[in-house]
């Protein structure tokens, strides 16, 4: 059993929904927008409740908000709870509900960031405000961090703060962020809560092909677009081999034990099938991957450009970065 930090009856659900909807209305698309207006708003909601915070810009507009709430026991290490204010961009024409409207439709709150992760940010703000209103002191220092730039690697958010403002995290011994907490029913009485570790690394790549520019009506065997498209197609269709790293092996073995199915190291695919719903999220931790995601070339249909560029989202298992690059 677990005791919620704040009983649900005391934490106003309406307040969380309102805060989340307002957060969604800030277009914090990364990289096309910045977080400043949203960060100012967060600091304002905290200040309303009498909670001091510091707004830290790593670059113009790239704003982070940090607040420290004193705990009852200063001897205990502080707990960091962090969320990010940026979202990945959204093309409104692909949405049934405008992505930055924060609209409630059919009983659901819609918008970019509604589940990643302005929902959590709203819960963090509502909880802090609840503490302030009721004079609740957490058992230990609580550091709330509302960060910039998570979606593009954290360069202007977490990375920057750790390098330039470690003082903000003084005394922190544990941190809770997004991800994890998804549970799987094993049977009627037991649930499996995976703990994330050994995250895959990012190896984002830019590919450039150069060729011979020319008129679109003439033969050209050094067409940069053709060459790059060929390479990208091969990268996109590559199936990387399964590499069973130690943490994943431990996870699979334990999951198999709990589900009462056989784990066969020489037949990973078969073992996954036996694990049912758990196997879905296992797919991405078994191998490296590389997906072409952007392509840029040319400016006119009848002109063969001398250059084409593309981006590839590469991900590697711990210890397998070189293998990805080599492949």
Smallest gap from residue 113 Cβ to Zn ion (A): 9
Residue count, binding to Zn ion (CB under 5 A): 3
| CA separation for the pair 156, 158 (Å, rounded) | 7
- Identity of the residue, 111 or 138, whose beta carbon is nearer to Zn ion in the bound complex: 111
Q: How far is CA 85 from the centre of its chain?
A: 11
Name the phi and psi angles at 119, rounded to 5. Answer: -60, -50
Q: Does 116 bind Zn ion (CB under 5 A)?
A: yes
Q: Does 117 bind Zn ion (CB under 5 A)?
A: yes
Q: 36-48 and 118-134 are packed helices; what angle lies between their axes, rounded to 10 degrees?
A: 20
- Identity of the residue, 132 or 152, whose beta carbon is nearer to Zn ion in the bound complex: 152
Alpha-helix runs per DSSP H in 78-189: 118-134, 158-164
Smallest gap from residue 208 Cβ to Zn ion (A): 30
- Identity of the residue, 117 or 317, whose beta carbon is nearer to Zn ion in the bound complex: 117
CB 194 within 8 A of CB 99: no
Name the phi and psi angles at 318, rounded to 5. Answer: -50, 130
- Identity of the residue, 117 or 297, whose beta carbon is nearer to Zn ion in the bound complex: 117
Within 167-186, which residues bind Zn ion (CB under 5 A)? 178
Q: Which of 22, 224, 241 is nearest to 118 (CA)?
A: 22
Choices 22-30, 117-125, 280-288, 314-322 (CB under 5 A): range interacting with Zn ion: 117-125
Smallest gap from residue 260 Cβ to Zn ion (A): 34
Choices 104-112, 113-121, 219-227, 275-283 (CB under 5 A): range interacting with Zn ion: 113-121
Smallest gap from residue 88 Cβ to Zn ion (A): 9
240 CB-near residues (< 8 Å, 6+ apart) = 287, 288, 289, 290, 324, 327
CB 256 within 8 A of CB 275: yes
Choices 109-117, 231-239, 293-301, 318-326 (CB under 5 A): range interacting with Zn ion: 109-117
Q: 246-259 and 268-275 are packed helices; what angle lies between their axes, rounded to 10 degrees?
A: 50
Smallest gap from residue 86 Cβ to Zn ion (A): 9
Choices 53-61, 70-78, 111-119, 224-232 (CB under 5 A): range interacting with Zn ion: 111-119
CB-closest chain residue to Zn ion: 116
- Identity of the residue, 171 or 177, whose beta carbon is nearer to Zn ion in the bound complex: 177
151 CB-near residues (< 8 Å, 6+ apart) = 30, 84, 86, 87, 88
Smallest gap from residue 152 Cβ to Zn ion (A): 11
Binding site for Zn ion (CB under 5 A): 116-117, 178
């Amino acid at each position: 059993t677990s005791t919620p930090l704040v009983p649900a009856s005391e934490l106003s659900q309406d307040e969380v929904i309102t805060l989340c909807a307002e957060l969604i209305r800030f277009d914090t698309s990364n990289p096309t927008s910045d977080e400043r207006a949203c960060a100012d708003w967060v600091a304002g909601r905290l200040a309303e409740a009498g909670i001091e915070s510091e707004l830290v810009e790593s670059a113009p507009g790239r704003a982070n908000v940090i607040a420290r709430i004193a705990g009852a026991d200063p001897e205990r290490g502080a707990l960091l709870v962090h969320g990010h204010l940026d979202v990945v961009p959204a093309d409104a024409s692909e949405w049934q509900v405008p992505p930055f409207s924060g609209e409630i439709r059919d009983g659901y709150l819609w918008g970019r960031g509604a589940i990643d992760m302005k929902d959590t940010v709203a819960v963090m703000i509502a909880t802090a405000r609840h503490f302030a209103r009721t004079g609740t002191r957490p058992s230990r220092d609580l550091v709330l961090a509302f960060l910039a730039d998570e979606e593009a690697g954290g360069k202007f958010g977490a990375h920057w703060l750790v390098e330039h403002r470690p003082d903000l995290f003084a005394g922190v011994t544990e941190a809770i962020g997004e991800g994890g907490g998804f549970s799987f029913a094993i049977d009627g009485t037991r649930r499996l809560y995976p703990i994330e570790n050994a995250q895959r690394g990012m190896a984002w790549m830019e590919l450039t092909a150069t060729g011979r520019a020319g008129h679109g009506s003439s033969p050209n065997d050094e067409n940069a677009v053709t060459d790059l498209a060929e390479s990208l197609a091969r990268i996109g269709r590559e199936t990387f081999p399964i590499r069973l790293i130690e943490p994943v092996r431990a996870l699979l073995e334990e999951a198999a034990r709990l589900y009462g199915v056989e784990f066969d190291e020489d037949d990973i695919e078969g073992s996954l099938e036996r694990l049912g719903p758990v196997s879905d999220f296992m797919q991405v931790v078994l191998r490296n991957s590389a997906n072409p995601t952007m392509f840029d070339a040319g400016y006119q249909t009848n002109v063969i450009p001398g250059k084409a560029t593309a981006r590839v989202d590469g991900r590697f298992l711990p210890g397998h970065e070189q293998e990805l690059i080599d492949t």
